[in-house]
């Protein structure tokens, strides 16, 4: 069993997740991308960089409940980052989804009883949260699009 865990922790995707957590959360690259790249491009790039966490939890660890929990964190980060007028970028400084997901995955792989129980207990709830977060993200993007069109019309 320990050998299996050791193999998971030397997996190249796990190493990339540790690297992403370090730079995106600890060095604040996630909120900086949201601040620098306009129109949600920074948040889109940030969400694409979170894909290794989904891949690792689904295809390496092979746990659907863990994947759902990781996806909830990623979608929360996207939703918070999309809040306009730099408010979302400030939230990105504090939410730190990369670290949350890395701790979640590491705890799950290590068999941490609290983490495993929490992930399994929240499986059905995670599906509902994912649907709600997706709807809110779509709504926020639509509002941002309408606001942008209004501003362009104002200055043309």
Two tokens, residue 37: 């790249």
> Which pLDDT score is estimated for 84?
79
E-state strands within the chain: none
What does the alpha-carbon distance between residue 103 and residue 141 come to, in Å, rounded to a whole number?
30
Mean pLDDT over 22-31 rounds to 94
Mean pLDDT over 18-34 rounds to 94
Is it the case that residue 78 has pLDDT exceeding 60?
Answer: yes
What does the alpha-carbon distance between residue 32 and residue 23 come to, in Å, rounded to a whole number?
11
Phi, psi for 61 (deg, rounded to 5): -75, -30
* Inter-residue contact 117 to 69 (CB < 8 Å): no
What are the counts of helices (DSSP H) followed by strands (DSSP E) for the chain?
Answer: 10, 0
Query: In this prediction, what percent of the chain has a pLDDT beyond 90?
Result: 67
Give the pTM: 0.87
> Which pLDDT score is estimated for 69?
97
> Which pLDDT score is estimated for 1?
54
> Which pLDDT score is estimated for 40?
77
Mean pLDDT over 40-58 rounds to 93
What does the alpha-carbon distance between residue 99 and residue 122 come to, in Å, rounded to a whole number?
19
Mean pLDDT over 86-112 rounds to 92
């Amino acid at each position: 069993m320990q050998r299996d865990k050791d193999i998971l922790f030397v997996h190249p995707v796990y190493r990339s997740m540790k690297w992403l957590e370090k730079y995106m959360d600890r060095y604040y690259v996630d909120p900086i991308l949201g601040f620098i790249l306009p129109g949600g491009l920074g948040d889109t790039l940030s969400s694409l960089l979170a894909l290794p966490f989904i891949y690792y939890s689904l295809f390496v660890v092979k746990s659907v409940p863990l994947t759902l929990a990781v996806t909830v964190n990623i979608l929360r980060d996207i939703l918070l980052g999309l809040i306009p007028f730099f408010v979302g970028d400030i939230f990105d400084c504090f939410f730190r989804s990369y670290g949350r997901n890395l701790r979640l995955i590491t705890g799950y792989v290590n068999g941490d009883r609290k983490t495993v129980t929490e992930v399994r207990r929240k499986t059905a709830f995670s599906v509902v949260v994912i649907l709600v977060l997706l709807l809110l993200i779509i709504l926020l993007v639509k509002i941002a699009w309408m606001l942008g069109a209004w501003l362009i019309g104002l200055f043309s």
